[in-house]
């Protein structure tokens, strides 16, 4: 069986719980890192951060090559890319290192605030409210966050990269 090992922030081979679990489970492990377009937004990553990430990925690839593997790097929405690569390599499982960074937590909190505001507006004005375009993973987070609210429904409209989430009052 093949498994996909998706790196997020922990870009090391030595003592990496996600990579160890993936390697222990399968005959073949495909290491993957996805360059999320959100990381290129102004104010998120200056030249120094981008350079550090490139150097860290190169170091990770060297370490993996020393073990007989190689790092697959893709750019795009993380959810879409993970699904695409998992399908391409016929992965039976996907191992993902959780991103619990301060940025990830702040982004999730901001999405929750936007979702709550949109839901309140949809109910108050009795009409659907559109959120700004966001990645598939962000839309999924908002869909799941509002799912159990009981007074609104969510759906996506538009085409990538301008696909956005709609929040509508339940009828």
Task: Mark whether 120 and 157 lie in a shared domain.
Answer: yes
Domain boundary (57, 74, 99) is at 99
Task: Mark whether 55 and 8 lie in a shared domain.
Answer: yes
Task: Mark whether 30 and 79 lie in a shared domain.
Answer: yes
Task: Mark whether 48 and 61 lie in a shared domain.
Answer: yes
Task: Mark whether 62 and 9 lie in a shared domain.
Answer: yes
CA atoms within 13 A on the CB side of 51: 3
51-84: per-residue pLDDT in tens? Answer: 888 899 999 999 999 999 999 999 988 888 988 9
Task: Mark whether 159 and 75 lie in a shared domain.
Answer: no
Task: Mark whether 85 and 132 lie in a shared domain.
Answer: no
Task: Mark whether 47 and 109 lie in a shared domain.
Answer: no
Residues of the chain with pLDDT > 70, as a percent, come to 91
Task: Mark whether 10 and 91 lie in a shared domain.
Answer: yes
Map tokens 């609104």 to a residue: 152
No. of H helices and E strands in the chain? 5, 7
Domain boundary (99, 126, 147) is at 99
CA 17, 3, 76, 157 dihedral sign is negative
Q: Which residues are bridge partners to 153 per DSSP?
A: 168
Task: Give the confidence band of 100 by pLDDT, cuts at 50, 70, 90.
Answer: low
Mean pLDDT of the chain: 86
52: CATH: 3.40.50.620
Domain boundary (99, 122, 138) is at 99
Task: Mark whether 108 and 32 lie in a shared domain.
Answer: no
- Domain boundaries, position 160: 103-169
Task: Mark whether 16 and 73 lie in a shared domain.
Answer: yes
Task: Mark whether 31 and 95 lie in a shared domain.
Answer: yes
Q: What is d(CA 110, CA 3) in angstroms, rounded to the nearest whole number?
A: 33
138: CATH: 3.30.1370.50
Alpha-carbon torsion angle 79, 82, 85, 89, nearest 10: -130
For the chain, the domain total comes to 2
Q: The pTM is what?
A: 0.59
Tokens representing residue 80 in the block:
């879409």
Give the strand order in the sheet containing 164-169.
Answer: 129-130, 164-169, 152-157
């Amino acid at each position: 069986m093949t498994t996909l090992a998706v790196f997020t922030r922990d870009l090391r081979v030595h003592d990496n719980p996600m990579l160890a679990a993936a390697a222990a489970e399968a005959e073949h492990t495909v290491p993957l890192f996805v360059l999320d377009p959100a990381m290129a937004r102004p104010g998120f990553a200056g030249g120094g951060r981008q350079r550090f990430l490139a150097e860290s990925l190169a170091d990770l690839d060297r370490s993996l090559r020393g073990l007989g593997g190689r790092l697959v790097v893709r750019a795009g929405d993380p959810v879409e890319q993970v699904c695409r690569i998992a399908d391409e390599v016929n992965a039976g499982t996907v191992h993902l290192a959780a991103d619990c960074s301060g940025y990830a937590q702040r982004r999730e909190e901001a999405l929750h605030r936007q979702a709550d505001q949109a839901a309140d507006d949809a109910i108050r004005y009795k009409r659907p409210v559109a959120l700004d375009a966001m990645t598939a993973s962000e839309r999924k987070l908002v869909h799941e966050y509002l799912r159990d609210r009981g007074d609104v429904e969510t759906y996506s409209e538009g085409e990538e990269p301008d696909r956005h989430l709609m929040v509508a009052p339940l009828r």
